Amino acid sequence: MAFLNIENLTVNYGNIKALKGIDIEVEKNEIVTLIGSNGAGKTTTMNTIAGLKRSSGGRIMFDGEDITQMGTPQIVKKGLTLSPEGRQVFPKLSVFENIELGAYTRSKKERDEMLEVVYDLFPKLKERRSQSAGTLSGGEQQMLAVGRALMCKPKLLMLDEPSLGLAPLIVKEIFDLIVRINKLGTTILLVEQNARMALAISQRGYVLETGKIILKADADYLLNSEEVKNAYLGGV
Ligand code: ATP
């Protein structure tokens, strides 16, 4: 069975059927991208895997265990973390305090070890560790959100729109960092509006449309498919 194995997952918001029975598999050490139009259900998928939203049917298996009914703290402890859409850093707390919050499930030794990894990946966060997070630029806040998610030493890191609202150069930096994090041994599930760049660093991708997976394929195939290009990659 795949490292993350989602079977026939359904999620409702009242009468709205946001996910209508989706299957997703992510193998260990892969980068997999989920693409789809606004409202397709991408964030719902990530939030449900992370235990922030209850499913109404189906099964989520992670690292050989059924996590469908688990709460977020338990899921984080198992090594699955989400860096949510919209950064959501604590603006009044310092950069260091924000980072430390991500490690609440870990021992002091593990915290120190991961802090070194995070500061190494994001030297700017180290430089600004005493500054309040609200005074960081958008790109720096995004890096902080990713750094915080890394602190619990995830085996699988989910990133929801990590490049949202960022300038192209910073976007490039974020994507390079995602590749580095992956090379350190973290499996990645990515949701991105910037589908072309996301697929360029991914092995495989899924296309989600109104709560259903309509296509799954190697990233190269998706990048070259006329249908995908026209619908999701700006037609070029
Ligand atoms: P976007 O790219 O715009 O962020 P998305 O693919 O992440 O979109 P979701 O945010 O998962 O899509 O939304 C899927 C569907 O569920 C949409 O129709 C949305 O309106 C609906 N939805 C999401 N959150 C809620 C909520 N809290 N209450 C009711 N409906 C919701």
**Res 72: pLDDT:** 94
Residues 190 and 46: their CA atoms lie apart, in Å, by: 9
ipTM, two decimals, is 0.95
**Res 96: pLDDT:** 95
Q: Which residues pair with 65 in a beta bridge?
A: 62
**Res 10: pLDDT:** 98
For ligand 1, atom 28, name the residue with the nearest CA.
13
For ligand 1, atom 10, name the residue with the nearest CA.
43
Q: Which helix (H) or strand (E) holds 120?
A: helix 108-121
Query: What is the DSSP-derived secondary structure letter of residue 94?
Result: B
pTM, rounded to two decimals: 0.92
Residue 30 has pLDDT above 80, yes or no: yes
Indicate the average pLDDT of the chain: 93
Residue 235 has pLDDT above 70, yes or no: no
Residues 33 and 201: their CA atoms lie apart, in Å, by: 9
**Res 187: pLDDT:** 98
Give me the domains of the chain, ranges plus CATH numbers.
Answer: 1-79+156-236 (3.40.50.300), 89-153 (no CATH)
What is the average per-residue pLDDT within 33-47?
95
- The tokens for 151 are 């602190």
The length of the chain in residues reads 236
What is the 68 CA–ligand 1 centroid distance (Å)? 20
Residues in CB range of 52: below 8 A, 6 or more apart = 72, 82
Provide the 10 A C-beta neighbour count for residue 51.
21
**Res 175: pLDDT:** 92
39 lines ligand 1 (CB under 6 A): yes
Q: Are 81 and 158 in contact (CB under 8 A)?
A: yes
What is the 151 CA–ligand 1 centroid distance (Å)? 28
Q: How confident is the model at residue 234 (pLDDT cuts 50, 70, 90)?
A: confident
40 lines ligand 1 (CB under 6 A): yes
Question: pLDDT tens-digit profile of 129-185?
Answer: 999 999 998 888 988 998 998 888 899 999 999 888 888 888 888 899 899 999 989
What is the 88 CA–ligand 1 centroid distance (Å)? 18
- Which of 44, 53, 82, 189 most suits a substitution to test ligand 1, by most atoms within 8 Å of the C-beta? 44
Cα 154 to Cα 78, 143, 172, 181, 189, distances in angstroms: 8, 16, 23, 10, 12
Residues 26 and 154: their CA atoms lie apart, in Å, by: 15
How far out from the chain centre does Cα 136 lie? 21
